[in-house]
Amino acid sequence: MERFTGRRALVTGGGRGIGEGIARRLAAEGAEVIIASRTLDVAQAVADEIGARAVQVDISDTDAARAAVLDAGPLDILVNNAGFDDPGFFGETTPDRWRRLLDTNLMGTFACTHAALPGMVEAGYGRILNVGSEAGRIGSKGNAVYAATKGALMAFSKSLARENARYGITVNTLVVGPIDTPLLDKVRASEHGPKMVAAMEAGTLLRRLGTLDEVAATAAFVLSEEASFITGENVGVSGGMGIGSA
């Protein structure tokens, strides 16, 4: 299937994990892909494999994020995937740690989106997908500020969907649950790792972690023409985690 032939897509944090999965899927289906990543060597290796372009940018620097998006040229598709968590009970966290989370997960997303929107408005077409988390929908013990950033992304997407529907632009949030990314191997290998992974699995109705392919397939659907009547939605890909306790 070549659902993205002729489409130019930028995926932030597309050098590994979920972003890499989405970048690979979009490229496989014909998109011209730009991977925007903090670490160029990692992104370049993936880009070389899939025939994409890699650019180095730390999106928490809003000027740099803006420049990287503008430099990519007019975009049909923007996937705001770059994000991170900094776990810890809220009482033990500090304003510096809050700020770092806000700077990447929100400010970086705002900056990339702000830079991409005018081109989409002019073209009368655009697909924006913000990669959220079930933490933003149902909360997450030990991840309060991360959850707050992901909850804010859902409100951001809905508001942008309202503002830009008239220009043929859809904006949705992918509400991701626990996914088996390479990073989880580190968790598994740690002292309490197996218990932590078991708890993640138990939090889903399907009692397992999701795969990168499952996330990429859902993202690709939402970004495709098949989803042309879907905007402002929180699209869960979390094994049912978002509907209540398992």
Q: Residues 34, 57: contact at Cβ < 8 Å?
A: no
Bridge partners, residue 175, by sequence:
132, 236
CB of 118 to ligand NAD, least distance (A): 22
Residue 164 CA to residue 233 CA, distance in Å, equals 14
CB of 105 to ligand NAD, least distance (A): 7
CB of 119 to ligand NAD, least distance (A): 20
Question: Residues in the site for ligand NAD, rule: CB under 6 A?
Answer: 12-13, 15-19, 37-39, 57-60, 81-84, 104, 108, 131, 133, 176, 178-179, 181, 183
CB hemisphere CA count around 100 (13 angstroms): 8
37 or 218, CB closer to ligand NAD?
A: 37
Nearest to 128 by CA among 139, 118, 117: 117
Annotation marks residue 125 as catalytic:
no
161 or 209, CB closer to ligand NAD?
A: 209
Nearest to 130 by CA among 177, 179, 77: 77
**Residue 196 burial by CB count (10 A; 0-12/13-18/19+): exposed, middle or buried?**
middle
CB of 213 to ligand NAD, least distance (A): 13
123 or 201, CB closer to ligand NAD?
A: 201
165 or 206, CB closer to ligand NAD?
A: 206
Q: Which of 32, 44, 59, 146 is catalytic?
A: 146
Give Cα separations from 127 to 99, 164, 180 (angstroms).
28, 10, 26
**Positions marked active-site:** 146
